[in-house]
Amino acid sequence: MSRKPKLYYFNGRGKMESIRWLLAAAGVEFEEEFLETREQYEKLLQGGSLLFQQVPMVEIDGMRMVQTRAILSYIAAKYNLYGKDLKERAWIDMYVGGTDDLMGFILMFPFLSDEDKEKQRAFIVQKATSRYFPAYEKVLKDHGQDFLVGNSFSWADVHLLEAILMVEEKKSDVLSGFPQLQAFKARISSIPTIKKFLEPGSHRKPVPDDKYVQTVRRVLRMYYDVKAN
């Protein structure tokens, strides 16, 4: 196996994007193999690499890891982005879980019909501004530190920044009523590893387009229509 982590997924965001974000935040170089054909996917299946018959899959430290949350937890712990003790880890898990809920509303957005996309866009913004962003605004205000947990950069900060930028793609001024989150976004974006990841030419993937959607549908044989929330 490669010494660098190797990521197996489509050439697009999906569930792998948060893994890319976390590796980049840790300053870890990685390689990617993009799934473009059903044959590539079946080869992984037949070779026993996909324990639960699904991607993302990451080769790291002699392991072939699946299940996004397990992969992220391992990376966070390995690169000291998972708090200094059990209590901080619990807070990080809680914040990441909340952010995951919000990001879940966005994950299947590219696979919706045009009509459902407009409904889902409004739904995403409503949930972000009424449930999730107010919670993180309060956390940052009450905590009084630069980061969500303790006073150290962690997985929770990386995940929240990723979510903020995703929601801003749906409504550019979505943070207008959240001064703490505006300052947080600026701080985290200026961290050197994050700043590098946000620059053109990095492993960060663009907003999913029709080519990405069709590739995923073809490889996974998705013949059904996804519905909005």
Query: Which pLDDT belongs to residue 3?
Result: 85
Cα dihedral 185, 190, 195, 199 sign: positive
- Domains along the chain? 6-79+198-220 (3.40.30.10), 86-190 (1.20.1050.10)
* 69 alpha-carbon distance from chain centroid: 10
Q: What is the DSSP string of 126-159?
A: HHIIIIIHHHHHHHHHHH-SSSSSTTS--HHHHH
**Low-confidence residues of the chain, pLDDT below 50?**
1
Regarding beta strands 31-34 and 6-9, do their DSSP bridges make them parallel or antiparallel, or are they unpaired?
A: parallel
Measured CA angle at 128 (ends 103, 7), to 5 deg: 15
> Is-contact 41 35, C-beta < 8 A?
yes
Q: How many CB atoms lie within 10 A of CB 34?
A: 12
- DSSP line for 78-93: HTT-S-SSHHHHHHHH
Give the residues across from 34 on adjacent strands.
9
pLDDT digits (tens, 9 = 90+) for 85-104: 999 999 999 999 999 999 99
pLDDT of residue 52: 93
Instruction: Tell me the whole-structure pTM to 2 decimals.
Output: 0.95
